[in-house]
Structure 1
Amino acid sequence: MPKSASYQDFLIKSIQKSQDAAAYIEAILEEKDPEPELLRNALRNMVEAKAKINHLSPTLKQQHEQLDKMLTESGGAEIYTFVEFLDSLGFQVGIVPKEK
């Protein structure tokens, strides 16, 4: 089901701040039994948010294209398996904005 334009606009605006973007991707990584497209869509949304505030470098765009290709093939299985493995070891993944 496609997202409504107003929801998509709200989402993109809400993840333009680094703290909110970090919480968004962290929540995606914590999903139990995620749909294969979930991580790809989240990363696409994050790239769109960066583009809206003019922080989309050519390197970031190229990295996103490479990662998107890998996630298309695997559905993010490796990433989610890694997160589950860490959970079994008693750890959790935390996403925090980089200090400038």
Structure 2
Amino acid sequence: MKEVKTPTSRNYKEYLISSLKDSEHAAAYIAVMLELDEEGYDSELLRSALKDVVNARVLSDNLSEAAKQHYEKLDKILAETGGTEIHTLIEFLDALGFRIAISLKD
């Protein structure tokens, strides 16, 4: 019988962080976390995604001091409010027939 290696959560996390070093992957990852689904929007998933992207940038030595400060401020807001402002904006845009899109800057 052939031995099959099952990926561990640590291997997955390492793979995820490695893949998020690519800006296009990072943008798509954040975009997915902003989408509404049947249960709505989950601020904890967004916080986790942003943390993963920041960690990938840190490992790539590609995180400016300004970005770090903005991340810390946003993370604090999301932790305190549960992201109600973001959730309300996403639901409002959804009701109008729009959605938020994350794209790379030129």
Q: TM-score if structure 2 supplies the norm length?
A: 0.83
2:99 aligned counterpart, secondary structure: coil
Pick from 25, 36, 42: which aligns with 1:20? 25
Map Cα deviations across residues 1-49 of structure 1 (whole Å, 9 max, x no partner): xx82111111111111111111111100004324441111111111001
The 2-side partners of 1:16 and 1:86 are apart by 30
Q: Which piece of structure 1 moves more, 18-27 or 34-43? A: 34-43
1:68 lines up with 2:53 in the alignment: no
Cα 1:35–1:89 change in 2 (3 A) is: closer
Structure 2 residue runs without a partner (length 5+): 1-7
The 1-side partners of 2:12 and 2:35 are apart by 22
1:30 lines up with 2:32 in the alignment: no
Counterpart position of 2:87: 80
Q: In structure 2, what residue type is equivalent to 1:8?
A: K
Counterpart position of 2:105: 98
Q: In structure 2, what residue type is equivalent to 1:79?
A: I
Structure 1 residue ranges, 4+ long, deviating more than 6 angstroms after superposition: none
Structure 1 residue runs without a partner (length 5+): none
The 2-side partners of 1:60 and 1:6 are apart by 27
Pick from 26, 40, 45: which aligns with 2:47? 40
Q: TM-score if structure 1 supplies the norm length?
A: 0.88
2:98 aligned counterpart, secondary structure: coil
1:7 lines up with 2:12 in the alignment: yes
> What RMSD over aligned residues (CA atoms) do the two structures have, in Å?
1.5
- The structure with the larger Rg is 2
Task: Give 1:65 shift.
Answer: 0.7
